Amino acid sequence: MPAADDIALIKTQEATLVFSAFDEAVAFEIGSAIRDRALKENLPIIVDIRLWDRPLFYAAMPGSNASNPDWARRKINVVKRYLRSTYRLVLEQQRPDRTFKVGEGLDIADYVLAGGGFPVTVKGAGVIGVIAVSGLPEREDHGVVVDALCAYLNIDANGLVLPPEEK
């Protein structure tokens, strides 16, 4: 699938995967579902769900490593700044060095172009937080979040999930 098609589909994901309300209980349910999947499928990931003012859920799976939380933190910063999926930005920016253009003024220590950060959007309020997954290839990190959101929001994932990346 060409990048333009992926970007269009991610924009549809962002517009569709919207909550009527989001709180600690919702974060726990989604985070627990991602954790359960990770345990079942042996996914070496961390999941970090937070509002802008505080963390709500965090879990580290077997096989994850010390760099995963830092990657997640940097993805969270990107979603907070741009209010969109980090994988969408990866595809839009097309920068193999994982940095933003110099003119953006974003320090690589705090911001990274890497998929796996997805905005938590509440109807009538906008983007209020983020769900970040780190540990898999970026398209898969993104997919783990989208799958969990579709399941929680009871939205058919067919037509919303990115197809496997062409080799």
**The domain that contains 30 carries what CATH number?**
3.30.450.150
Q: Which domain holds residue 95?
A: 3-153
Which class for 81: exposed (0-12), middle (13-18), buried (19 or more C-beta within 10 A)?
Answer: middle
- Is 167 part of any domain? no
- Is 166 part of any domain? no
- Over residues 89-137, the pLDDT tens digits come to 999 998 888 888 888 888 899 999 999 999 999 999 999 999 999 999 9
| CA-to-CA dists, residue 68 to 9, 57, 116, angstroms | 26, 15, 11
- Is 33 part of any domain? yes
pLDDT at 167: 64
- Is 105 part of any domain? yes
What percentage of the chain reaches a pLDDT higher than 70?
99
- Over residues 9-44, the pLDDT tens digits come to 999 999 999 999 999 999 999 999 999 999 999 999
Give the pTM.
Answer: 0.95
* pLDDT band, residue 67 (cuts 50/70/90): very high
- Is 140 part of any domain? yes
pLDDT at 85: 98
- Is 74 part of any domain? yes
Q: Which residue in 55, 53, 35 sits closest to 44, CA to CA?
A: 35
Q: Is the pLDDT of residue 1 over 70?
A: no
- Is 163 part of any domain? no
Average pLDDT score over the chain: 95
- Over residues 145-157, the pLDDT tens digits come to 999 999 999 999 9
Locate 119 and state its tokens: 């905005």
Q: CA 45, CA 62: separation in Å to the nearest integer?
A: 8
Number of compact structural domains in the chain: 1
Q: State the Cα angle at 20 between 19 and 24, rounded to 5°.
A: 70
- Is 144 part of any domain? yes
